[in-house]
Amino acid sequence: MASLIEEIRALGTQALADIRAAASLEQIEQVRVAVMGRKSRLTQLMRELGALSEDERRKAGMVLNEVKDAVADELKKRRAALEAAARAREIAGQSVDITLPGRARLFGRRHPLVQVRRQIEEIFISMGFSIALGPEIENDFHNFAALNFPDEHPARDMQDTFYLPGGWLLRTHTSPVQIRAMLATTPPLAVIAPGRVYRADADVTHSPQFHQVEGLLVDRRVTLGDLKGVLEAFAHRMFGAQYQTRFRPSFFPFTEPSAEMDIGCVICSGVGCRVCGGTGWLEILGAGMVHPAVFENVGYDPEKWTGFAFGMGIERIAMLKYGINDIRLFFENDKRFLEQF
Amino acid sequence: MQFSVRWLQRYADLDMPVQQLLNGLTMAGLAVEGVIDVGLISGKIVAGEILDIQPHSTAKKLHVCSVQASSDPAVPPLRIVCGAPGMKVGDRVPVALPGAILPGGRVIERCDIRGEWSEGMLCSGAEVGWNKDGSCLLQLDAAYPIGEGVDALVDVGVTPNRPDCLSLLGIARDMGAYFRRAVHPPKFRCIETMDRTDDFAKIAVEDKDGCPRYTARVVRNVRVGPSPVWLARAVEAAGIRSINNIVDVTNFVLIELGHPLHAFDLDKIAAHTVIVRRAREGEKLVTLDGVERTLTPEDVLITDPTRPIALAGIMGGENSEISDSTINVLLESAYFDPVRIRKTRRRLDIQTDASFRFERGTDRENIHVALNRAAQLVREVAGGEITRGFLDVVGARTKPQPITLRIQRVNDILGADLEGSQIADILVAIKCEITHSDHHQLVVVPPSHRVDLLREIDLIEEIGRLYGYERIRATVPYLPVQTAAENPLQETADRIGEILAAEGLSEVVTYSFTDRESLERARQSTADAVELVNPLSRQQSVLRTSLLVSFLDVIAHNRKHGNADLAIFEVAKSYHCVGSKDVPYQERQYAMAALAGRTPTHWSEPPRPWDFFDIKGIVERVLRRLGAAPEFIERKGRPDFHPGRTACFTREGRDLCVFGQVNPEVAAAWEIRGDIFLAEFDLEALAPCARPRIGFRPLGQFPAVVRDLALVADRNIPAGELELTLRAAAGDLLESLVLFDVYEGDKIPEGKRSLAWSLTLRAPDRTLTDGEINTLIEHILSALAGKHRAELRTL
C-alpha cells in the first residue's frame, strides 16, 4: 500500500518535471498523453484502485486525485505559457511596412460650384428662406417684361440674350423665378432660386453658361435696412466675419432702390490688389427693393407689400472663395481641378 | 464714360483729394471702373516747360533738355535726355519724375543715357495713356500748371437709368449734390451777326414722332483745321480721337453737356434745306465710317431735297461731311425718339457716342443750349460768323410731371427716420423743384435732365442714394414662416448626387450647349434638338438632347491631359423641342454616371479595367438607396450603347436607368480607346420613389441556417431566371441569397456553367430542423431541374 502511494507520488513528480521540460505545444501534448492518457500508468493505477479495500482505496484515491489535479494544473499552465510564447513569436513576425500606401478606394466629390451652391442654400434656408425653381428656357414675359425691362430699353443690353425660335430665350438670370414664385402664391414669401443661366458672353471672367442664386422676400414693412441686415449676415457666414461689407447704389430695372454689395477684398484684405482693381473691395451681389411695377405685374399691391430681391453668381463666389482665376476651369472638368475640392 | 478730373473741377467745386472724389463717385452709384493717373494722384507726372534743348554728346538722335518742372521758379530746372522729334523750346509737356510709374507699368528712374545724366522722362500721349499717339510729346495747354500733377482720367460705369451722367456737367451736378458743393455750368455768349439764319438754311420735320424737336444754327466762313491744344486734349481725355476743329467742337459739347450734335457742310446740302423724315424701304446711305447702309421706314433720316445726308442720332453721311474745304457749317442739335434710335442702331449693329445717349434719353428742354455752345466754340476755334437766331422746329413739348412724395413711404422703404426737411434738402440738391410741402408729403418736379425720375419710388431711391446707404441701419427682419412646397424631382436630384458621390464618383458640371454634329456622332436624336438663334460659336449652337455628348467631351479632355481613369457623374438637364404650341420646349432631368479607364491602382492587386458589373453595382446600390427597387431588368437596344452590354431597370413600365457600355463606335468618334461604362438615370421616373416608406422588420430571434448550392445549367440561361425560380421555390424562409461563384471550364460539360449560391434560411417563429431544411432544398432543386434542367454540381 505504501509503495502504491509512493509510486503515485513518484509518477506525479516525474510528470511535473516532464511537463516543465516540454518545449513546444507538440511536446506538451505528448507529455499529456503519456501521463494522463488512457494508457498511462496513472490511468492504469486509477483502474487498479478498485481492487483495494475501501480504506486503502480512499487513502490512495486521495493521493491519486491530488497528483492528477497537480499534473492537470501544471499542464494547463505550461500550455498557456507555451501558447503565449507561440503567439508572441507569431505577432513578432507580423510586422508590416507602415509606410506602404493604404488600399485605394474611389473618393467622390461634389463639384465646387455645387458645394458653393449648397453652402449658399444652407445659409438662407437657416434664415427661413425656402427653395423655388424655374425653367431655363423662358419667355420674354418672365425674363424681361414682368421684371420691368421695357421693350427696346437699353437696360436689356445689360444682359446679352440667347434666343430660341418662336421668341423664346435662355433665361439670362434666375430672376424670372421671382415672377413665377409670386404668381404661384400670395404674400408673404421668402424664397431663394438657384439655377443655371445663360448670356452671350465669353472670356476669362464670363462664361456663356453660369449659375446664380436669386433671393426674394416679400412681406409687410420690409425695408432697405432689412436687405442690408440679411445680406451682411450672409456675407459674414459665407466668407467670415472679418470681412467688411458695403452697399453701393446701382441699377436693376426690377428693383428700386438698387444696390450692389461689396466685401473687403478676400485676396488682399482691403489693401488693394489686381483682383480688386486696387480698390480693396470686391462686388459679390446685386440687390434692391422690389420695384412697385414688378408687384403690379404679378398682381401684388405695392402699397400693402414691400420686399427685397437679390442675386449672385455662384461662379463669382466660388472664384473668390477658392482663388480661381479662370471661369472656364469650372466647365472643363479636368480631374486635377475636380480633385482639389 | 471717361473724363478728366481737372475738366470736371471746372464745373463744380470739387477741389479735394482725388481718392475722396473717386470714393464719392462709387458711393453715389457711378462705379469707378478704371483710373489712368497722369500724375494728379501720385504727383510723379507733372506739367513741365522745355527751357533749352542741347545736342546729346554721343547720340545723334537724342537731345539734352532743360525742363522747368516745379511751380517754384527758384528750383533749378531738370536735365532730361529726350529723343522725341519736333520738340521745341517753350513746349509744355508731361514730365515723368523719378519714381513715376507709367500706365504700362514702366518705372522711371534717374539714369545715365549713353553718357548723359537724365532726371526723368518727357512723355508722349501714348506713354501716359492720354491718347494713342506715341510719335511726339503730348502738348499741354496753359490750364495745366507747371510743376503740378497733370491730370487723372477716370472711367465710371454709368447705369442705363442715368444718361444725365454721360457728361462732365452731369457728373459735376451729381458730385455737387453728393458733396454739397456748388455747380458751375459753362458760361458763354453766342455772338451773332446781323444776317438772319433762315436766309441761309431751312428745316422741315416730316417725321414728328421720330424727331419731336430739331434746332440748327449756321456758322459762315469758318477755317477748318487742326484743333487748338486745349480742345484736342479735352476730347482725347474722354477717349475720343481728335479729328478737326469743327468735329472736335461737336464732340466736346457732347462730353461737356451730354447732348450729341452733328455738323454738316452747309454747301453740300441741296437747297440748304434739311428735311427730317422716315427713310424709304431700301433707301441707301453711306455713313461716315464708309459703310453703305440699307434703310427701312423705321429709321429717322436726315435728308436734303435730293438725298439722305445723315442717319439721325447715330452717324452722319459721307456726302455732307465736314472737310478741309468746308466754309459754311450747319450745326444740328435735335431730340430723337429713343426707341426709334435704338431699333435702327441695333438692326444696323452700330453703336456711337451719339446713339448711346439718344437711346438712353437726353435733356430735351435744353438742346438749344448745346447748339449755342457749339456755335460759340466753332467761332472761337475756327473763326467765322454765327448768323442771327437758331432754327427751331418743335413738335409736342413735354414738361417733367410733378410727383407726390410721401414722407412716411420714404422711411418705410428705406428703413430710415428722415424728416421732411432732410428729404427736401436732398431733392433740391439734385435740382428738383418742390412746389408744395406739408407734414406728410412733398410735390416734386424733377429737372428735365433727369429722365429717370418718373414716380415716387424713383425719388425714394435718390433720397437713399444721397443720404447714403452706409447710414441706413442694418436690421434683421422676421421672416414669414412657410412650409416649402414639396419638390420630389429636386429632392431626387439632390439625393442621387449625394449617393453617387458616396459611391466614389466625382461630380462634373458641363455645358448645356453642343452642336448637331456632336449629337449625330454620339448617335443622339437631333430632330428634337433646340437650336439657338444667335449662338456664340458653331460648337455651342444647339442645346444637348443627352448628357452623353458632354461626358464624351469631359473624358476626351481628361485623356488628353493624362487622366484616363475617371469615375464621374452629373445631375443636369437635356433639352427638347416637343412641338406643342404653348410649350414648345421641354427640359428633362437626368443623372448620368460614367466609368472610364481602370480601377484605382494599389500595390496589393493589379488594377483592372472597369466592366459592366462595376456600373451595374453602382446602379443597383443607387436604386436601392433611393428606395426605387426595380421590378425588372431587360436588355436594351440603343444606338449609343453596346448591343450586348446594355440593360435597363424598369418599374411600372418606365425605364428607371439605362446602363452599360457606350457603343465603341461612339467612343471611337471621340478618339477614346478603352471601354466607357455609363448609367443614365431618369430622374422624372425616379421622383415618385423619392421618399421611400421604410417599414421596420423585426430582427429574427431564431438561428439561421446557411446552405450553399452549386448548380450546373445551360450557359445560355440567364442567372436572373435561375434566381427567380430559386427564390420562388424557397419562399418566405429565404432570408438572403448571394451568388458567390460563376464557373465555366473543363471541370463541367461544355456549354454548361456552374453557379453557386449561398442561401440563408430563417423562420421567424422557430428553429428550423434538418428535416425541414432538407425537404426545402429538395423542393428547390426539383424546381430548378424541372424548369431549367439545372442540376446539383457534383465534384
Residue B413 in 3-state DSSP? helix
Q: Judge: B475–A226 Cβ closer than 8 Å, yes or no.
A: yes
Rounded to a whole number of angstroms, the distance from the CA of B8 to the nearest CA of chain A is 21
Residue A189 has which C-alpha cell? 414669401
Q: Are residues A74 and A30 in the same domain?
A: yes
Measured between alpha carbons, how far is B206 from B562 in angstroms, rounded to an integer?
Answer: 70
Q: Above 90 in pLDDT, residue A255?
A: yes
- Phi, psi angle pair for B511, to nearest 5°: -75, 145
What is the pLDDT at residue B483? 67
Tell me the per-residue pLDDT of A106-138, one tens digit each, with 9 for 90 and over: 889 999 999 999 999 999 999 999 999 999 999
Q: Are residues A49 and A194 in the same domain?
A: no
Rounded to a whole number of angstroms, the distance from the CA of A267 to the nearest CA of chain B is 19
Q: Above 90 in pLDDT, residue B169?
A: yes
> Which chain B residues are within 8 Å of A155, Cβ to Cβ?
160-161
Residue A105 within any structural domain of the chain: no
- Please state the ipTM of this predicted complex: 0.90
Q: Are residues A43 and A183 in the same domain?
A: no
Q: Judge: A259–B469 Cβ closer than 8 Å, yes or no.
A: yes
Residue A106 within any structural domain of the chain: no
Residue A322 within any structural domain of the chain: yes
> What is the arithmetic mean of pLDDT over B621-649?
90
What is the pLDDT at residue B412? 96
> Which chain A residues are within 8 Å of B534, Cβ to Cβ?
162-163, 200
Tell me the per-residue pLDDT of B558-569, one tens digit each, with 9 for 90 and over: 999 999 999 999
Q: Are residues A88 and A119 in the same domain?
A: no
Question: H helices of A37-96, where?
Answer: 41-48, 54-92
% of chain A at pLDDT higher than 70: 100
Kind of pairing, strands B441-445 and B385-388? unpaired
Q: Above 70 in pLDDT, residue B218?
A: yes
Q: Which of A153, A106, A143, A256 is nearest to B618 (CA)?
A: A106
- Sequence-distant (≥ 6) Cβ neighbours of residue B286 within 8 angstroms: B292, B293, B317, B318, B319
- Find the Cα–Cα–Cα–Cα dihedral B455, B457, B463, B468, rounded to 10°: -150
Domain interval for residue A209: 112-338
Measured between alpha carbons, how far is B300 from B359 in angstroms, rounded to an integer?
Answer: 13
% of chain B at pLDDT higher than 90: 88
What is the pLDDT at residue B487? 84
Band (A152; pLDDT cuts 50, 70, 90): confident
Measured between alpha carbons, how far is A292 from A301 in angstroms, rounded to an integer?
Answer: 8
Q: Are residues A207 and A320 in the same domain?
A: yes
Rounded to a whole number of angstroms, the distance from the CA of B568 to the nearest CA of chain A is 8
Measured between alpha carbons, how far is A109 from B485 in angstroms, rounded to an integer?
Answer: 29
Domain-ending residue, one of A60, A92, A124: A92
What is the pLDDT at residue B650? 92
Q: Judge: A223–B412 Cβ closer than 8 Å, yes or no.
A: yes
**Looking at per-residue confidence, does A138 or A47 come out higher?**
A138
Tell me the per-residue pLDDT of B257-305, one tens digit each, with 9 for 90 and over: 999 999 999 999 999 999 999 999 999 999 999 999 999 999 999 999 9
Q: Are residues A182 and A301 in the same domain?
A: yes
Q: Are residues A141 and A287 in the same domain?
A: yes
Domain-ending residue, one of A92, A125, A149: A92
Residue A58 within any structural domain of the chain: yes
Domain-ending residue, one of A39, A63, A92: A92
Band (A270; pLDDT cuts 50, 70, 90): confident
Residue A104 within any structural domain of the chain: no
Tell me the per-residue pLDDT of B432-469, one tens digit each, with 9 for 90 and over: 999 999 999 999 999 999 999 999 999 999 999 999 99
Q: Which of A147, A198, A194 is nearest to A171 (CA)?
A: A198
Q: Judge: A256–B460 Cβ closer than 8 Å, yes or no.
A: yes
Name the domain count of chain A: 2
> What is the arithmetic mean of pLDDT over B181-194?
95
CB atoms within 10 A of CB A219: 18
Contact yes or no for B46/B39 (Cβ under 8 A) = yes
What is the pLDDT at residue B484? 66
Tell me the per-residue pLDDT of B686-701, one tens digit each, with 9 for 90 and over: 998 766 677 888 888 9
What is the pLDDT at residue B302? 97
Rounded to a whole number of angstroms, the distance from the CA of A19 to the nearest CA of chain B is 42
Residue A144 has which C-alpha cell? 424681361
Q: Judge: B464–A162 Cβ closer than 8 Å, yes or no.
A: no
Q: Judge: B584–A259 Cβ closer than 8 Å, yes or no.
A: no
% of chain A at pLDDT higher than 90: 65
Q: Quick one: closest CA in B to A338, which residue?
A: B506
Q: Judge: B464–A208 Cβ closer than 8 Å, yes or no.
A: no
What is the pLDDT at residue B652? 86
Q: Are residues A133 and A279 in the same domain?
A: yes
Tell me the per-residue pLDDT of B42-98, one tens digit each, with 9 for 90 and over: 999 999 999 999 999 898 899 999 999 999 989 999 999 999 999 999 999 999 999
What is the pLDDT at residue B698? 84
- Neighbouring-strand partners of residue B681: B591, B657
Q: Above 70 in pLDDT, residue B795?
A: no
Measured between alpha carbons, how far is A331 from B276 in angstroms, rounded to an integer?
Answer: 52
Q: Above 80 in pLDDT, residue A93?
A: yes
Band (A240; pLDDT cuts 50, 70, 90): very high
Residue A270 within any structural domain of the chain: yes
Residue A135 within any structural domain of the chain: yes
Band (A4; pLDDT cuts 50, 70, 90): confident
Please state, rounded to an integer, the average pLDDT across all residues of chain B: 94
Residue A97 within any structural domain of the chain: no
Q: Above 90 in pLDDT, residue A38?
A: no
Tell me the per-residue pLDDT of B356-415, one tens digit each, with 9 for 90 and over: 999 999 998 889 999 999 999 999 999 999 999 999 999 877 788 999 999 999 999 999
What is the pLDDT at residue B776? 95
> What is the arithmetic mean of pLDDT over B327-331?
97
Q: Are residues A78 and A117 in the same domain?
A: no
Q: Are residues A129 and A61 in the same domain?
A: no
Tell me the per-residue pLDDT of B749-762, one tens digit each, with 9 for 90 and over: 999 999 999 999 99
Measured between alpha carbons, how far is A35 from A19 in angstroms, rounded to an integer?
Answer: 9
Q: Quick one: closest CA in A to B593, which residue?
A: A108
% of chain B at pLDDT higher than 70: 99
Q: Which of B283, B253, B273 is nearest to B205 (CA)?
A: B273
Fill in the DSSP letter of residue B325: T
Measured between alpha carbons, how far is A158 from B508 in angstroms, rounded to an integer?
Answer: 29
Q: Are residues A194 and A311 in the same domain?
A: yes
Question: Which CATH number do you get for residue A272?
Answer: 3.30.930.10
Across A77-86, B512-521, B527-536, B628-637, least confident range: B628-637
Q: Are residues A168 and A228 in the same domain?
A: yes
Residue B195 has which C-alpha cell? 444776317
Q: Quick one: closest CA in B to A184, which residue?
A: B485
Band (B583; pLDDT cuts 50, 70, 90): confident
Band (A223; pLDDT cuts 50, 70, 90): very high
CA distance from start to end of chain A: 89
What is the pLDDT at residue A1? 67
What is the pLDDT at residue A106? 87
Q: Quick one: closest CA in B to A185, which residue?
A: B485
What is the DSSP annotation of B646-683?
Answer: EEEEEETTEEEEEEEEEPHHHHHHTT--S-EEEEEEEH
Rounded to a whole number of angstroms, the distance from the CA of A227 to the nearest CA of chain B is 7
Q: Judge: A133–B502 Cβ closer than 8 Å, yes or no.
A: no
> What is the arithmetic mean of pLDDT over A258-272?
88
Q: Judge: B476–A137 Cβ closer than 8 Å, yes or no.
A: no
What is the pLDDT at residue B690? 65
Q: Above 70 in pLDDT, residue B671?
A: yes
Please state, rounded to an integer, the average pLDDT across all residues of chain A: 92
Contact yes or no for A251/A286 (Cβ under 8 A) = no
What is the pLDDT at residue A266? 84
Amino acid present at B243: I
